[in-house]
Amino acid sequence: MRLVIAAPHGRSGKTTVTLGLISALRQRGLVIQPFKKGPDFIDPSWLTLAAGRPCRNLDLYFLSPEQLRSHFSACCRGADMALIEGAMGLFDGLDLEGSNSTAAVAGTLGCPVVLVIDAVRMTRSAAALVQGFQNFDPRVKIAGVILNQVARPRHEDMLRRSIEHYTGLPVLGALPKKRDFLIPDRHLGLIPAAENESLHTALAATGTAVGANIDLDALLAIASQVPELTSSAETPQLPPPRVHLGVFQDRAFTFYYPENLEALAQAGATLVPINSLEDAGLPIVDGLYIGGGFPEVFAARLEANVTLRREVKKAVAEGMPVYAECGGLMYLARRLNYKGRWYEMSGALPFDVTMSSRPQGHGYTRLLVEGENPFFSQGSIIKGHEFHNSRVINLERTNVKFLYSVQRGFGIDGRVDGILYKHVLAGYNHIYAPTHPEWAANLVMLAAGKR
């Protein structure tokens, strides 16, 4: 069974509906494999929490259709149903053809689509909206509608009768206007699930609301009417560990693709979790991976952990391999300015970072690898993404080199990204390991002293 939850536009309630469906279906005893279309980290953190299985990203910018099908099938092993949350509007993509859209992912995987409609200040017009999406692309099968933000029973009745009369599609349910299952957000989207456990009550409330207001039997029947997808990919056998790689994993640093961590393990790394807020110092490791997150929110606590900051700086100075993305780059800086106050960071790299109220880089990236380096082949193209409101300032350029020239995106300054310093690569670009298999292998070899 598989299903895509999509919408005409962003902020229609896709995440709320998907989370509620996962919770409600799990209460029936089903094992749900969650997916998120696109390169997002934050929605997957909530989908992972709801499903009890790691959410996986599906992205046709990173993977070919064949790779996407194989990846999808492999991730669905052991699950009763796959539930895919779309991104933006159903047909929104990178080009006129919508080649990277949620619709393209649904077509590649042969998934029916349930459309979530934000019903605020709308009645009969909802039928015209749904009909337009229904007829826009015959390769995409819209199989049902879920209404969100419904005001009262009379409102729901008008919406339901209009949609079913003019489109022939079933309305599977309607969620009322309610604030107790809303998860607050900030500049990059929802607050990550691991950041504030007090928000987890919203997840339970969402599951209860979906169970009470959506016809789960009808939804399961739609999800069942799909041909089976098979995968010939075998589960890789992990090699004997060659290195211990420290990974910052805590409330400040939460942005990691499961595939990236798995790729490192498959390359021979034993992953050692490090809590940047609480651990008094570095464990015995051969290298570090510092992912993204919201270090600015926890800047005071990061600053207060003086011993760890000093040990990271010392390790970098002594040549320890470090791969850092976005939030990790910020932690390696000398100082971080947030809301008008400066906080001391590790000081491992010669620059400061300041937060802005507006995005500095937002979207997919395409980077050209220039010059020799231990991480990537010279001349190769790196595809990734960036979402950051911070920018690098006071950079001592005489002490660093840059790995990438930016062909798409912003990076450090619109021209370059990827600061190279000793055995450190720190940039705003987030990489997706299956797209660039050499990344994990080279990082592990570097940590093993073989590059």
CATH of the domain at 436: 3.40.50.880
Q: Where does a domain end: 162, 192, 224?
A: 224
Cβ atoms of 174 and 116 within 8 Å: the answer is: no
Q: Of the candidates 224, 258, 286, which is a domain's last residue?
A: 224
Co-location of 293 and 421 in the same domain: yes
In a domain, 421, yes or no: yes
Are residues 133 and 266 both part of a single domain? Answer: no
Give the C-alpha separation, 270 to 264, whole Å: 8
User: How far is residue 228's CA from residue 233's CA, in Å, rounded to a whole number?
Assistant: 15
Closest CA to 265 of 106, 135, 443: 443
Is the same domain home to 65 and 151? yes
Identify whether 191 is part of a domain: yes
Phi, psi angles (nearest 5°) of residue 409: 110, -165
Per the CB < 8 A criterion, the answer to whether 378 and 401 are in contact is no
Catalytic residue IDs: 326
Looking at the structure, tell me whether residues 218 and 292 fall in a common domain.
no
Q: Strand 2-6 to strand 113-118: parallel, antiparallel, or no bridges (unpaired)?
A: parallel
Question: Rounded CA gap, 204 and 188, in Å?
Answer: 23
Half-sphere exposure of 341 (CA within 13 A, CB side): 8
pLDDT score at 185: 59
> Do 94 and 164 have their domain in common?
yes
Query: Into how many domains does the chain fold?
Result: 2
Residue 235 has what pLDDT? 65
Q: Which of 196, 224, 252 is the last residue of a domain?
A: 224
At 184-201, the pLDDT tens digits run: 554 445 667 666 665 577
The predicted structure's pLDDT at residue 189: 55
Cβ proximity of 188 and 42 under 8 Å: yes
Q: Give, in degrees to the nearest 5, the angle at Cα 219 between 216 and 220.
A: 85
**What does the alpha-carbon distance between residue 360 and residue 68 come to, in Å, rounded to a whole number?**
30
**Token pair of 205 as six digits:** 């409330």
293 and 213 fall within a common domain: no
Residue-by-residue DSSP string for 27-39: HTT--EEEEEESS
The answer to pTM > 0.85 is yes
Are 218 and 104 in the same domain? yes
Structural domain contains residue 230 = no
Rounded distance between C-alpha atoms, residue 27 and residue 31, angstroms: 10
C-alpha–C-alpha distance, residues 110 and 22, integer Å:
20
| Residue 345: partners with Cβ closer than 8 Å, 6 or more residues away | 295, 302, 303, 309, 330, 331, 332, 333, 334, 335, 336, 353
Compute and round to an integer the Cα radius of gyration of the chain: 23
What is residue 49's three-state secondary structure?
Answer: helix
Q: Which residues of the chain have pLDDT under 70?
A: 179-191, 193-199, 231-236
74 and 46 within one domain: yes
Q: Judge whether 236 lies within some domain.
A: no
Inter-residue contact 102 to 56 (CB < 8 Å): no
- DSSP one-letter string for 321-343: -EEEETHHHHHHSSEEEETTEEE
Cα-Cα-Cα-Cα torsion 289, 432, 230, 235, nearest 10 degrees, comes to -20
Within a domain: 69: yes
> By residue range, what is the domain housing residue 38?
2-224
Element spanning 120, H or E: none
Same structural domain, 29 and 158 = yes
**Tokens 């997002």 — which residue?**
40
Tell me: do 252 and 213 sit in the same domain. Answer: no
Q: Are strands 243-248 and 287-290 parallel, antiparallel or unpaired?
A: parallel
Is residue 229 in a domain?
A: no
In terms of domains, do 310 and 427 share one?
yes
What is the reported pLDDT for 322?
98
Nearest to 400 by CA among 376, 422, 429: 422
One domain for residues 220 and 302: no
CATH number of the domain to which 76 belongs? 3.40.50.300
CA 327 to mean position of chain CA atoms: 14
CB 288 within 8 A of CB 390: no
Residue of 256, 276, 400, 245 lying closest to 346 (CA atoms): 276
* Residue 177 confidence (pLDDT): 86
Backbone angles phi, psi at 4, to 5 degrees: -110, 130
